[in-house]
Amino acid sequence: MTHSEEIQKRRTFAIVSHPDAGKTTLTEKLLLFGGAIHVAGAVKSNKIRKTATSDWMDIEKQRGISVATSVMAFDYADHKINILDTPGHQDFAEDTFRTLTAVDSVIIVVDIAKGVEAQTRKLMEVCRMRKTPVIVFVNKLDRDGKDPFDLLDEIEEELHIRVRPLSWPMEMGQRFRGVYNIYEGKLDLYTPSKQYVTQSIAFTDIHSPELETHIGDLATQLRADMELIEGVYPPFDTATYLAGDVAPVFFGSALNNFGVKELLDCFIRIAPAPRPVEALERVVEPQEDNFSGFVFKIHANMDPNHRSRIAFVKVCSGRFERNAPYKHVRSGKLMRFSSPTAFMAQKKETVDEAFAGDIVGLPDTGNFKIGDTLTSGEDLHFKGLPSFSPEIFKYIDNADPMKAKQLHKGIEQLMDEGVAQLFTNTFNGRKIIGAVGQLQFEVIQYRLLHEYGAQCRWEPLSLYKACWIESADDDALDNFRKRKAQYLALDRAGRAVYLADSSYVLTMAQQDYPSIRFHFFSEF
């Protein structure tokens, strides 16, 4: 198979949603269809004591939520599918934002009862910024929820994207009978006891009297709904979907395995193969011969017995080969990788080659940072992996003086993962952790103890915002540093950060020092 054909087979996408919309369950069912797993873990079930394949960290199993992005690959219908299951919880939004830079398309899961929630809106903004194509999967049809037409209006209004239903539900909750698959012209019928598509009937003419024999009284309602859909929504056009202007919508129940295969079958036909990636220097095309890729995530202790760190690399162009020398652009060093891995959550297998669109895990002894580039030799810097200004701050102190080394190593490695941000106060030398949400502090404390054997203590710190500062006017910068000495810190890259303790103080500082630029994310 040629290089170009290999790339055309790839589909790399993220599944995103608000917590509890059924994202991890949908991931499991997609893996089942791909033959990658043979039994789905009941994410919430304590009786079975199985957990979702993509939730493998201890803290994830205990809480029934995802706190880190998982990468899974499988083959389906002659395509190579790479799924990135992201955390839905807003406290881990930054991990999700970074993951969206490594995918070519996105599936957004919406709960039929709850509709569009705050976190989904935020994630859609990132997709819109990058013009990432989006498919919406409306989940939990086996429960009662909002009227489908009302929900489509809500999606358009809240996510600022036009929609086009490609399947349509017949009733919901206890009365749920299945969906009409508009895209394939099929009637997919549902029997609650069977918990999957029990009958799939090719049905292109819904005006045929034969419809009544399959769904009885629901036929009249389905015809009326279809007439309204054809009148209100323009015909589906793949080009507008790929441009990020229209979101196709599917209905189903991931828990009951209903509507998932139909979503997957349509997805592999319309979703984009790997797309060009913008670097500071130029646009990198996936079909290029030379290899290039960037690190979008680092995970420590995937195997707690070996204290291993894995850098997740998105291959942007060319072919990655095991044991070939590649340039680490930031350090200028040549590196070889004898055991690059492909993923099935935390199960890893060594790969000899990978193509544009694939995600490769590279063993890391501390060489990589998020955003680093690897190439065949060219100096490239990929854009779009910012750190956002944290919203909650705490001093971190060592609770066990005998374990200072372990604490230092643990903090360094967890910060490399992008779990939170570390600042060092230049006034008193104390270490400050900045995070997006409270849950991140619990995860850090838990992982320091269980993965590094180190104990930490938190001390609350009342701050409003951390912002990176820079200026061409050295005198103004010196004056600012003297006046604000207590509120200055350095990030891990040694850049100056101003820790504003209130909105008013920050506004006054911006007015008093017009020559200083205040940045609210680190990529500037």
Per-domain residue ranges of the chain: 3-170+234-270, 278-375, 392-519
**8 Å CB contact between 372 and 294:** yes
Mean per-residue pLDDT for 54-77? 58
Q: Which residue has the higher pLDDT, 398 or 71?
A: 398
Q: Coil, strand or helix: which one is 273?
A: coil
Identify whether the C-beta of residue 188 lies closer than 8 Å to the C-beta of residue 181: yes
Most confidently predicted of 81-95, 110-124, 186-200: 110-124
CATH class of 3-170+234-270: alpha beta
pLDDT tens string 409-427 = 999 888 877 778 899 999 9
- Asked if the model's pLDDT at residue 65 lies above 50, the reply is no
CA atoms of 179 and 141, how far apart (whole Å):
10
Identify the residue with better confidence: 200 or 416.
Answer: 416
- Which phi and psi angles does 364 have, rounded to 5°? -130, 130
- CATH code given to domain 278-375: 3.40.50.300
Helices (H) and strands (E) in the chain, counts: 14, 31
Q: Is the pLDDT of residue 270 over 90?
A: yes
Do 3-170+234-270 and 392-519 have matching folds?
Answer: no
The arithmetic mean of pLDDT across residues 130-151, rounded, is: 92
Residue 66 pLDDT more than 80?
Answer: no
d(CA 80, CA 476): 55
Mean pLDDT of the chain: 83
Q: By C-alpha distance, which of 98, 96, 101, 82 is closest to 109?
A: 96
Handedness of CA 144, 145, 150, 151 (dihedral sign): negative
Enumerate the H helices of 244-286 as residue ranges.
260-270
Q: How far is 434 from 423, CA to CA, in rounded Å?
A: 8
As given in the structure block, the two tokens for residue 99 are 């993951």
Cβ 112 vs Cβ 249: under 8 Å:
no
Q: 335-369, pLDDT tens digit by residue?
A: 999 988 876 544 567 888 999 999 898 988 878 88
Is pLDDT above 50 for 40? no
C-alpha span between 439 and 432 (Å, rounded)? 16
- Token match 């791909």: residue? 34
- Residue 54's pLDDT band (cuts 50, 70, 90): very low
Question: What φ, ψ does residue 223 adopt, rounded to 5°?
Answer: -60, -45
60 contacts 95 by C-beta, under 8 angstroms: no
pLDDT band at 450 (very low <50, low <70, confident <90, very high): confident
CB neighbours of residue 408 within 10 Å: 14
Task: Report the pLDDT value the prediction gives residue 127, as an integer from 0 to 100.
Answer: 84
Least confident stretch, 91-95, 157-161, 243-247, 256-260: 91-95
Yes or no: domain 392-519 corresponds to CATH 2.60.40.10: no
* Alpha-carbon span 13 to 251, nearest angstrom: 19
